[in-house]
Amino acid sequence: MIIKIKQPDPAIALAADRAAMVISPLQGILTLGETEWGKVLAYRETATWAEKVVIDNAGDWKRTSENIAFFGYLLNYTDEQMDALFIAAAQVTA
């Protein structure tokens, strides 16, 4: 008898990993660095009121949050770059 072990679906595993990624704004901003965060702040000068609120007041940065996806959009980051940002930021202690 052959027993097949079902392998987890990589897409489901990736979605679960991303859902668990949470960093503080300080970790995110420090990891982005002055140049990249500066791009967000430069955009802020022309942003709508709601976008300014997101930039100024984003609480914990959750990888799957629409607000954090907005930062990725502003920086033209790929999903892989956003994952790398969160992985690196999680290592920052302050």
Q: What is the pTM of this model?
A: 0.84
Contacts of 63 (CB under 8 A, 6+ apart): 18, 19, 20, 21, 22, 82, 83, 86
Q: What is the pLDDT along the chain (94 residues), one digit of tens a residue?
A: 777 777 778 888 888 888 889 999 999 999 999 999 999 999 999 999 999 999 999 889 999 999 999 999 999 999 999 999 999 999 999 7
Contacts of 72 (CB under 8 A, 6+ apart): 81, 82
Q: Where along the chain do its domains lie?
A: 23-89
